Amino acid sequence: MRRRRCPLITSAAAVALTAVVAPVGPPAFQVGCSTVSRKDAEPGGGRHANAALLDRGALGRWPRKRFTATAGCRRTAQDLQWPLWRSRKQSDSLVALAATPTPSLGKQASWKQGSSVVVYIVLWYFFAINYNIDFKKALIAFPFPWTHALWQISFGWFIFGPLWLLGVRKVPKLAQREIITLIPAALGNLVLHVGAIIAFFGGAVSFVHIVKASEPVVSSVLNYLCIGEVLPWPVYMSLIPIIGGVSLASAKELSFTWLGFGAAMASNVGAAGRAVYSKKCMGSSLGQNMTPENTFSALTILGMLMLIPLTLLAESPRVAYAAFHQALEKGGKTFLLHMFSSAFCYYMYNELAFLALGKLDPVSHAVVNTMRRVVIIMAAIVVFNTKISLLGGIGSGVAILGTLLYSLAKTKFKK
């Protein structure tokens, strides 16, 4: 009769075998009563990454099973490590092949992401164009810019409010000191908004956007004065066509007004000031659930609270109420549609801008943002039959081209 082997000796032999085989294949560690490769245990790694490549047919025939009894568990030689007849190079190549992601899945994910960006950009353009056109029509019928500004910035409650209540979007949580930190940024956003509305009140839509194309000039000056940022000389050279183009367009603009020009420049100061403050004082982490959409919602709420007393001081509620009823009697449902559409499109195009630009690289961001202004100017000229001179058109084109060159140069020479 053959002598039975002691389980303790068998276990010791199994451990010794594991130690000998370890240099051949991936390192292993003990899980329960079986030895598992580290690559096997990692998500997407080892033999379990791609069973079609690492089955018995791919590796060849397993050797004769050698059973060991340890704590009532069975273990075979292949459970301990890779087959002994496989070299390190062969094993590594098979593991690398198994760990390679499937190309079709990567292409499908990339296609879905690209499609979502295109959808965001198309919707962003759609709401931006409709906002500029419908708001100008509502402003002509009801010429109270401060009331329009308050109505548009307050309308956001009808969008993000239900999303928070229904749990579709997480409610942002801010401490008192974090709210205080946001106030200057909200003030800059408010100046940007009110300045643009007063500019629309004082001039043509196309002219306002030409002046607003000079925002990089204001941004460069504020960056130098507030945080001492000095840009490379090619970036400053790209500001020359912006300044020249805006100057030429303003001089030859048939609908030029100082109110429109000054308010548009104030809007530029608000936008640049918000960006400079965010870069200098606001950290990367602020509160909880502060996604780009919720950040814009928080700025909207703070801006609305600041705008209420300013609107009551700038425009008499009694006079504004009487003018609104007069416009309603004259325009009827069309006037109400323009009022509703301008407020809805204002919030939507700003939020979609956050979503679209957050998924674009800097160069694509510059091109898309520049083309947005071109599309709005062309749409406004067609809808409102705005007359522009030849030199005014040339100046507008040069200014917009300069804006694109500035964005590209700043991206290329970014420190």
Question: What is d(CA 286, CA 97) in angstroms, rounded to the nearest whole number?
Answer: 43
Per-residue model confidence (pLDDT) at position 367? 78
- What pLDDT does residue 413 have? 81
In terms of Cα–Cα distance, which of 229, 260, 140 is closest to 413? 229
The pLDDT score that the predictor gives to residue 410 is 84
Q: What is the pTM of this model?
A: 0.70
The rounded distance, in Å, linking the Cα atoms of 305 and 301 is: 6
| Ordered alpha helix ranges (H), 228-291 | 233-237, 239-252, 258-280
* pLDDT for position 79: 46
For residue 294, give the amino acid letter. N
Q: How far is 198 from 196, CA to CA, in rounded Å? A: 6
> What are the extents of the domains in the chain?
25-98, 120-412
Distance CA 116, CA 121 (A): 9
Q: Residue 339 in contact with residue 138, Cβ under 8 Å? A: yes
Across the 415 residues of the chain, what is the mean pLDDT of every consecutive 10-residue run? 45 41 41 40 41 37 43 45 46 49 57 75 91 95 97 95 94 91 93 96 91 89 87 90 89 83 94 83 73 88 96 95 95 95 94 76 72 88 86 88 88 75
Tokens of 342: 């301008």
What does the block give as tokens for 350?
A: 């700003």
Q: Quick one: which H or E segment has residue 186?
A: helix 176-202
CA nearest to 248, candidates 378, 381, 391, 387: 391
The predicted pLDDT at position 68 comes to 43
DSSP-assigned letters across all residues of 111-157: HHHHHHHHHHHHHHHHHHHHHHHHHHHHHHHS--HHHHHHHHHHTTH
pLDDT at 76: 47
Q: Report the interhelical angle of 215-227 vs 390-412 (nearest 10°).
A: 40
